[in-house]
Structure 1
């Protein structure tokens, strides 16, 4: 049995709140508290505000005015002396260093190592240097804490961290180990007290404050890498409780989300200009592996290897239209792969609410344009959208509920901005009220609300 076969949340170690804490009535927040949404793709951090400051929660600006930051660390080893430690870059700067081809190692999706044997192991980051995986998690948390302290103007020593309903499917021991590893990393960077709250509960907290009766809400959290659904019981009386574990009625997810959408758009509308699914002089389709690698974020740099580039150059005779081969060579020699994925994502966003857009491919060939309209986007994404929507059905089935028992839908995560996706899910629950949270920061905001309730009385 995996995640889909579980109808209730796991019983976890009592780190969700300190023992003996009375149920609060929303007192002023303690000044040394923060809330961290350590996400698979992106992270955010919130500061609970004291009553004197107006109450509520403030999201920390992490990169300029951005309230979220890619969960990424890049270890740069280029030009280091033997005794020097790798230089760390975080967030968008980490991604930029990787895209620029700086020698080193990019770490993303670090959350996925929690609960695995990798958490206690080390990995090569370049130039013979090794770093423990859990230290990478700690480095990222330390960076978040530093930015939050700079904004708060004082030390932050207590933290609420979000956690998925299941770090690890169908393995309570590994699931508990994953939470313990994240707590260990947080303690190691200076948080003396660490608490946890379930991410779907955090997402639902904003909605809960707007209702006057008990309801069942389906939280759809669809980000860059996963689409997760949770059925949560919410209500005015329940909002006073700190332990909300029993309010999670069902949880299910699939590893399909925003990055998959971008790949499909790029393959369907951009890479055909470079020969994807093109026919050669003999009528056979040209080899497709290079196109799938170019459309898969973490594989793009493998296409730039000198041997791979030389191999692609020798394939010119495979193409009936040699202009397509020339464009492909422009991509690999000019290292345009990540830029093309970015253009696919931008095009997806541009047609998310309908309409059309033109993708400027002038870098491949002067005047070259690839058009995309909402119908073409839907055709490219339809199968994935249906699989995601079906995960909502599975969540309902595992909780043993009927569609009519779902009172509300709560959409969060960057990919819920795709109109056809949200509409497909909503169509399955016609009686439910559809609500949108902050697509990028509702979990962090909800964790901040929980932190204010949890620690305020102890400030």
Structure 2
């Protein structure tokens, strides 16, 4: 961005899977920023990076982001590193740096490089530094030992050059502000935001149009379970058994279980690409030599070495989307000598994610309890985010609130719209998380 300043406020929904930007056109209207170029996919910019070795690039690597990262990967998968879902490590004290071509990249490095390309592909729309940027953040960050203070520190470094004033707002509050623009009378609304890494809830009291403060947040809650976790369940059931999960190896005259850490990393989209390093591959090759089923470990090595993370992600996503509209669907993956084909019934998938759905519903209960609002007092329930389209997810809200109170729409864009509207308010800082 140049040093010139744009008076307009931006809303930036930096998501685990996708990133969306909106610009406020006034206190009650905002417009999505459309990206430009042959690879552009409208207003949705994939939260992904692709690196390839180039001494002229930052830290010895050139890069691209969004759909252009996917195109670069597909053009030369063996000479690149494809990184996605990196937002999920923002709050992790266990994550210090990713080794890409044996060079270290911190979370904030990945974030800044991602934003540079987002600006570059915006066709000049982001060349002037916005006066105010409202950035969405989850209510609860993903990760078993998530540290929100660490995530805030990393976000500050990531967004430091992006706008003159950066305000962080809970993502479901952005969606609430967007949905409130549809309402013509006062209401108490529950927003459920199903992202890639987290599921977040906010309860908001919406005043009549023209009220001094249209939206008043009552309470929020969240859990680090969402679309990526559902993907993980598919990988655990259909892919990992082919790669040696549950297998054994010989060591010092004993037969031991293959360590589960390799499979945990493989099933995590933010970490899979990072397994392609000399240390991990050497460990896997040693394990393969002593494994009771060496061919299974060999399949894992082949998928890692040949950068099959994105094709696997694509196959899992196709299955998940198909099961949202059909009672059964085919899973098909072919790559580097590994073929996995299976027919999956929706009931099977729902059984795989049943425990995750229970934890999501517990977070919903927590939000209601914090707000002191009973279910009958909720006038509208707004479901947003890609995973809100999964029938088993929607069924939770149909059972508890009835279909007549449910509203949907703008699953990938509503948060950015609302964040931009918040940025246009004179009291925008009051919404800060």
TM category, shorter? 0.7 to 0.9
Q: CA deviation at 1:180?
A: 8.3
Q: CA deviation at 1:297?
A: 2.1
Q: Is the 8 A contact 2:193 2:384 kept in 1?
A: yes
Match of 2:269 among 273, 286, 297: 297
Q: Is the 8 A contact 2:234 2:349 kept in 1?
A: yes
Residue 40 of structure 2 is matched in structure 1 by 64
Q: Is the 8 A contact 1:227 1:254 kept in 2?
A: yes
- The answer to which structure has the higher strand fraction is 2
* Separation (CA, whole Å) in 2 of partners of 1:127 and 1:368: 30
Residue 201 of structure 1 is matched in structure 2 by 173
Point out where structure 1 has 5 or more consecutive residues left out of the alignment: 1-29
Match of 2:289 among 290, 299, 314: 314
Q: SS of the residue aligned with 2:124?
A: helix
The yes-or-no answer on 1:38 pairing with 2:14 is yes
| Structure-to-structure mapping, 1:122-201, within 5 angstroms | 134=108, 136-148=110-122, 150-151=124-125, 155-164=128-137, 186=159, 188-189=161-162, 191-195=163-167, 197-201=169-173
In 2 relative to 1, CA 125–288 (structure 1 residues): closer, same or farther, beyond 3 Å?
closer
* Separation (CA, whole Å) in 1 of partners of 2:349 and 2:84: 30
Q: Is the 8 A contact 2:12 2:135 kept in 1?
A: yes
* Separation (CA, whole Å) in 2 of partners of 1:230 and 1:135: 31
Q: SS of the residue aligned with 2:182?
A: coil
In 2 relative to 1, CA 83–416 (structure 1 residues): closer, same or farther, beyond 3 Å?
closer
Q: CA deviation at 1:223?
A: 0.8
Q: SS of the residue aligned with 2:320?
A: helix
Q: SS of the residue aligned with 1:345?
A: helix
Task: Please provide the CA RMSD for this pair.
Answer: 4.4
Q: Give CA-to-partner distance per residue, 1:297-320, whole Å, 9 cap, x none.
A: 24434277442442354356448x
Q: Give CA-to-partner distance per residue, 1:276-309, whole Å, 9 cap, x none.
A: 44799xxx99737344433222443427744244
| Structure-to-structure mapping, 1:237-256, within 5 angstroms | 237=209, 240-241=212-213, 244=215, 247-256=216-225
Point out where structure 2 has 5 or more consecutive residues left out of the alignment: 1-5, 250-254, 428-433
Q: CA deviation at 1:394?
A: 1.2
Q: CA deviation at 1:359?
A: 1.9
What is the aligned length? 405
* Separation (CA, whole Å) in 2 of partners of 1:87 and 1:167: 33
Residue 237 of structure 2 is matched in structure 1 by 268
Q: CA deviation at 1:182?
A: 5.0
Q: CA deviation at 1:252?
A: 0.9
Q: Is the 8 A contact 2:331 2:344 kept in 1?
A: yes
Residue 378 of structure 2 is matched in structure 1 by 406
Match of 2:228 among 240, 259, 270: 259
TM-score, normalised with respect to structure 2:
0.75
**Bigger shift: 99-108 or 443-452?**
99-108
* Separation (CA, whole Å) in 2 of partners of 1:366 and 1:299: 20
* Separation (CA, whole Å) in 2 of partners of 1:367 and 1:139: 35
In 2 relative to 1, CA 416–309 (structure 1 residues): closer, same or farther, beyond 3 Å?
same
| Structure-to-structure mapping, 1:71-90, within 5 angstroms | 71-73=47-49, 76=52, 78-80=53-55, 86-90=61-65
Q: Give CA-to-partner distance per residue, 1:5-53, whole Å, 9 cap, x none.
A: xxxxxxxxxxxxxxxxxxxxxxxxx8744332233443211133479xx
Q: CA deviation at 1:168?
A: 8.1
The yes-or-no answer on 1:91 pairing with 2:66 is yes
In 2 relative to 1, CA 340–104 (structure 1 residues): closer, same or farther, beyond 3 Å?
closer
In 2 relative to 1, CA 254–186 (structure 1 residues): closer, same or farther, beyond 3 Å?
closer
Q: Is the 8 A contact 1:216 1:408 kept in 2?
A: yes
Q: SS of the residue aligned with 2:353?
A: helix
* Separation (CA, whole Å) in 2 of partners of 1:66 and 1:285: 51
In 2 relative to 1, CA 389–351 (structure 1 residues): closer, same or farther, beyond 3 Å?
same
The yes-or-no answer on 1:374 pairing with 2:349 is no
In 2 relative to 1, CA 269–398 (structure 1 residues): closer, same or farther, beyond 3 Å?
same
Q: Is the 8 A contact 2:192 2:199 kept in 1?
A: yes
| Structure-to-structure mapping, 1:345-384, within 5 angstroms | 345-363=317-335, 369-384=341-356
Q: CA deviation at 1:97?
A: 6.4
**Bigger shift: 203-212 or 294-303?**
294-303
In 2 relative to 1, CA 47–146 (structure 1 residues): closer, same or farther, beyond 3 Å?
farther
* Separation (CA, whole Å) in 1 of partners of 2:313 and 2:86: 18
Q: SS of the residue aligned with 1:34?
A: strand
Q: CA deviation at 1:330?
A: 5.2
In 2 relative to 1, CA 292–251 (structure 1 residues): closer, same or farther, beyond 3 Å?
same
* Separation (CA, whole Å) in 2 of partners of 1:275 and 1:176: 38
Q: Is the 8 A contact 2:207 2:213 kept in 1?
A: no
* Separation (CA, whole Å) in 2 of partners of 1:187 and 1:329: 39
* Separation (CA, whole Å) in 1 of partners of 2:354 and 2:113: 39
